[in-house]
Amino acid sequence: MANTFALILVILTFSTGIVWVIDKLKWGPARKAARQAAQDQASVGLDEKVLATIHPENIIIENARSLFPVIAVVFVLRSFLYEPFQIPSGSMMPTLLIGDFILVEKFSYGVKEPIWQNTLIPVGLPKRGDVAVFKYPEDQRVDFIKRIVGLPGDRIVYKEKQLYIVAACDADDCGNYKALDMQSLGEQKFKDEAAIMDVYTEILGEVAHKVIMNPNRRDAVGYYYQQKDVKTYAYEWVVPEGNYFVMGDNRDNSKDSRYWGFVPEQNLVGKAVATWISFEFYRDADGLLPTWVPSAVRFDRIGAIK
């Protein structure tokens, strides 16, 4: 769907742009000359309504010419600078909640063309701890949002709800796993979770962020993605070059790299940088109103994403 919209926006921008250019160079001057000739031949001054009937402008051309500046601004903003996204699931709780509307900085990981996401101008690479939007590798029509955990060459271990990372290293050092620093913040009940969750602060790279875990749910190791070209344990992965390992902050309710593998660099859309608005949605147990009806604005959630 996102690719379809991008394609439609590109087509609209270029088609209205072509009309705008032709009108500037040819059709517009022809209209002006015809109306000036009529004015010169008239014995009295002609008002704007009368002049508009002389060499009238096609309604399609008029609309295309008027819409082009607006569409062009939207195209540049959305394709190369910032794009809005809505959070549809709870996989990034408590960092992001259902109903958050976020801004994604498109140029953080390079300026890319909007259709196939090929990099035009290299700008930067993801850092450990970034919250990133990317094309889901198993269905590129779908946008996912997760946290960057593993960089190319890293060894990642997720065992008994503890995350371990060994940064790209020599073979002699790759067995020395170090658990990420975590501090318990106690228990909390979240609206979109059935159970009471354990809340922790986790240090990932230079980023301190919160994660939540369901103490009653065991790790689904049997469903974890298994690499065929690297000998690892079921709960261990080695991140290939040009790829990234991502996880949700809601560790027991996130479909992420543990289950489907790695995110190629080309799939990266951008870095989530801010929540610009957040809605609480009406929940009607009797089904009288749909659950997507906003019931309140969560002003306290507006701001930068960590």
For the segment 98-133, what is each residue's pLDDT rounded down to a tens digit?
A: 999 999 999 999 988 887 778 888 989 999 999 999
Assess whether pLDDT exceeds 60 at residue 2.
Answer: no
pTM value?
A: 0.84
In the predicted model, what is the mean pLDDT of residues 237-262?
A: 97
pLDDT band per the 50, 70, 90 thresholds, residue 290: low
Least confident piece of the model among 22-36, 80-94, 159-173, 264-278: 159-173
CATH number at residue 177: 2.10.109.10
3-state SS string for 71-127? HHHHHHHHHHHEEEEECCCCCCCCCCCCCEEEEEECCCCCEECCCCCCEEECCCCCC
Q: Does one domain contain both 225 and 114?
A: yes
Residue 207 shares a structural domain with residue 168: yes
**Does residue 256 surpass a pLDDT of 90?**
yes
Clarify whether 178 is annotated catalytic.
no
Compute the average pLDDT of residues 215-236: 92
Residue 284 has pLDDT above 70, yes or no: no
pLDDT for position 169: 59
Residues 186 and 135 in one domain: yes
For residue 114, whether the previous peptide bond is cis, meaning omega lies within 30 degrees of 0, is: no
Contact 297, 278 (CB under 8 A): yes
What rounded mean pLDDT belongs to the chain?
A: 88
| 273 pLDDT higher than 70 | yes
Q: Tell which of 31, 53, 81 closes a domain.
A: 81
The residue type found at 101 is F
Encoded tokens for 298: 């969560």
| pLDDT for res 291 | 64
Q: For residues 255 and 238, give the distance between their C-alpha atoms in angstroms, rounded to a whole number.
A: 18
> Given this model, what pLDDT does residue 171 score?
46
Same domain, 265 and 126: yes
Q: 235 with 220, same domain?
A: yes
CA pair distance 183, 59, nearest whole angstrom: 64
Distance between the two ends of the chain, CA-based, in angstroms? 28
Tell me, yes or no, whether 194 and 70 share the same domain.
no
Say yes or no: 103 and 188 in one domain: yes
3-class DSSP state of 31: helix
Same-domain check for residues 99 and 228? yes
**Total structural domains in the chain?**
2
Same domain, 233 and 268: yes
Range of the domain at 6: 2-81
Q: Are residues 120 and 55 in the same domain?
A: no
**pLDDT of amino acid 174:** 54
Judge whether 91 counts as a catalytic residue: yes
Last residue of a domain, one of 54, 81, 108: 81
Task: Specify whether 138 is located in the same domain as 24.
Answer: no
Give me 256's structure tokens: 């992420």
Of 106, 112, 135, 146, the active-site residue reads: 146
Of 32 and 239, the structure prediction assigns the larger pLDDT to: 239
Catalytic member of 91, 108, 254, 257: 91
CA nearest neighbour of 182 among 154, 212, 155: 212
226 and 278 in a single domain? The answer is: yes
Identify the DSSP state of 300: G
Q: Please tell me the predicted confidence (pLDDT) of residue 52.
A: 72
Q: CA dihedral defined by 7, 8, 11, 12, rounded to 10 degrees?
A: -150
Q: Is the pLDDT of residue 184 over 60?
A: yes
| DSSP-based three-state secondary structure for 48 | helix
Q: In the listed set 41, 58, 81, which residue is the last one of a domain according to the structure?
A: 81
Render pLDDT for 57-74 as a digit per residue (tens, 0 to 9): 888 888 998 999 999 999
